Amino acid sequence: MTSFHARAAELQTQLLDVSVLRPAEYNPRKKLTPKDSEYQKIKASIERWGYCDPVIVNKDMTVIGGHQRLQVMQDMGYTEISAVVLDIRKNDEKALNVALNKISGEWDMELLGGLMTELSSEEFDLELTGFDPEEIDDLIGWHDDQPEERENERIRTMETYNLDKFDEDEADGFYQMPVIYNDGVIPTDLIGFNYALSSRNKAVGVHCFVDDYQFERLWNQPEKYLETLADYEVVLSPDFSLYLDMPMAMKVWNVYRSRLLGQYWQRNGIKVIPTISWAEPETFTFCFDGIPAGSIVAVSTIGVKRDDECFQVWKEGMDAMIEHVKPSHILVYGGKLEYDYPPECEVIYFENKVTERMKNQKQEGKENGDS
């Protein structure tokens, strides 16, 4: 048998039917689900650039490298994939599987940081590179090189929970929700916070109607983003999730965090619109606190159309919010629903651009397939 080293230069890709491939039972990599961020990163990369990285299989069609890419592509409907087919012994196969999952070179951090900065200046979605938001911030220089040493543990605790930013004289309700005052600003358009670092267009508002992990850093390092957010027309307070099956304490905590960050930004000269979210009726006792009557507010309709229960919860909360806050304007992000807003309240709709972009891509794919 010709050695693997001797044949390396001769390797070529082959187009294989996915039905003949056999994932290795011994593969130590975790099987992904669509809920995993790595799954979504792989899918986003394939949607953007196509399938550029062939899987590696042995002659008996056992998959050696590329299990996760194969899994995502099968879920996406691929029936054929490109593969490099090797002819190696089982022990070598297993060792190569581990090596492909383990071996990696070291980054030239200066070059990598420069490349990421260059891409960010072109308003490129840097998360398509596979790096997490906080890693991206690190690479393009949005944080201090070394964490500040803190000897006083009480100060460390205060800063961890942002207790130094709370003012009981500027709080409302039993749970002391920080007050966000009405700035009277209505944005011309909205972009997601995940684009705030790279967008050249600053004459827009910034929203956080994205997955929580993309903006949790706003809470963890609030000072770090002041300069970035101050460049924009207005910022919507973070939409920390309120899921029906969350413990009530967490729902109170997430509303509190949203209000405190919005209030903190206002104190630092940033225009803010409070984002209001709710869950079951029990949350109505706190989720509207801290919002003065007659304010401009923002809400989301993302996911509300999934079933009748979600819509009913949203409708009941909207009824309660309008009664409690009596908003002058409601910014609705994510699409229209069948709901009768009061005539004295102006409603302004903003599209969910991620969903719209995916719809357009699917439509273009269908049209290209028909041609």
Contact between 320 and 286 under an 8 Å Cβ cutoff? The reply is no
Kindly provide the residue ranges of all beta strands, DSSP E only, lying in the chain, ordered along the sequence.
Answer: 13-17, 22-23, 55-58, 62-65, 80-86, 171-172, 177-178, 190-192, 205-207, 234-236, 272-273, 296-300, 329-333, 346-350
Q: Which of 277, 96, 263, 104 is nearest to 172 (CA)?
A: 263
Q: What is the mean pLDDT of residues 221-227?
A: 94
Phi then psi for 23, rounded to 5 degrees? -55, 140
- Whether 264 and 245 have beta carbons less than 8 Å apart is answered as no
- pLDDT at res. 127: 72
Instruction: With CA atoms as reference, report the closest residue to 68 among 59, 58, 81.
Output: 81
Give percent of the chain with pLDDT exceeding 90.
Answer: 55
pLDDT of residue 38: 81
d(CA 84, CA 12): 6
* Whole-number pLDDT of residue 368: 54
- Mean pLDDT for 306-318 is 92
* 162-212 pLDDT, tens digit each: 999 999 999 999 999 999 999 999 999 999 999 998 899 999 999 999 999
Give the pair of three-digit tokens for residue 12: 């070529």
pLDDT band, residue 1 (cuts 50/70/90): very low
C-alpha distances out from residue 322 to 7, 72, 314, 328, 341, Å: 71, 43, 12, 10, 9
Q: Residue 119: its pLDDT value, please? A: 67
Q: Which residue has the tokens 């007050």?
A: 179
Per-residue pLDDT at 91: 81
d(CA 137, CA 217): 10
Query: Higher confidence at residue 114 or residue 5?
Result: 114
Q: Is the pLDDT of residue 249 over 70?
A: yes
Tell me the mean pLDDT in the region 247-269: 98
Kindly report, residue by residue over 6-42, the tens digit of the pLDDT: 344 456 788 999 999 999 887 777 788 888 888 888 8
Q: What pLDDT is attached to residue 106?
A: 54
pLDDT digits (tens, 9 = 90+) for 92-140: 888 787 777 655 545 566 666 776 676 676 666 777 666 777 777 777 7
> What pTM did the predictor assign?
0.61
Q: Which two tokens stand for residue 164?
A: 């130094």
Closest CA to 40 of 210, 204, 169: 210
Name the phi and psi angles at 188, rounded to 5.
Answer: -75, -30
What is the mean pLDDT of the segment spanning 79-90? 90
Query: Exposed e or buried b for every residue in 153-169, given b needs 16+ CB within 10 A?
Result: eeeeeebeebeebbeee
Residue 111 confidence (pLDDT): 65
Q: pLDDT value at position 137?
A: 78
- Give the residue from 238, 201, 48, 50 showing the smallest Cα distance to 125: 48
Question: Tokens 């961890």 map to which residue?
Answer: 160
pLDDT of 305: 81
Mean pLDDT to the nearest integer, 319-331: 97
Is the pLDDT score of 354 beyond 90?
Answer: no
pLDDT digits (tens, 9 = 90+) for 263-287: 999 999 999 999 999 999 999 999 9
Determine the pLDDT at residue 8: 41
Number of alpha helices (DSSP H) and beta strands (DSSP E) in the chain: 12, 14
Partners of 192 in beta bridges: 207
Instruction: Say yes or no to pLDDT of 298 above 80.
Output: yes
Pick one of 3.90.1530.10, 1.20.120.160, 3.30.420.40, 3.40.50.720 as the CATH number of 4-102: 3.90.1530.10
Which of 81-90, 157-166, 202-211 ranks highest by mean pLDDT? 202-211
- DSSP structure string for 286-340: TTTTT--TT-EEEEE-TTGGG-HHHHHHHHHHHHHHHHHH--SEEEEES---S--
Roughly what angle, to the nearest 10 degrees, separates helices 67-75 and 37-49?
70
- Taking only the tens place, the pLDDT of each residue in 32-64 is 888 888 888 888 888 888 878 889 999 999 999
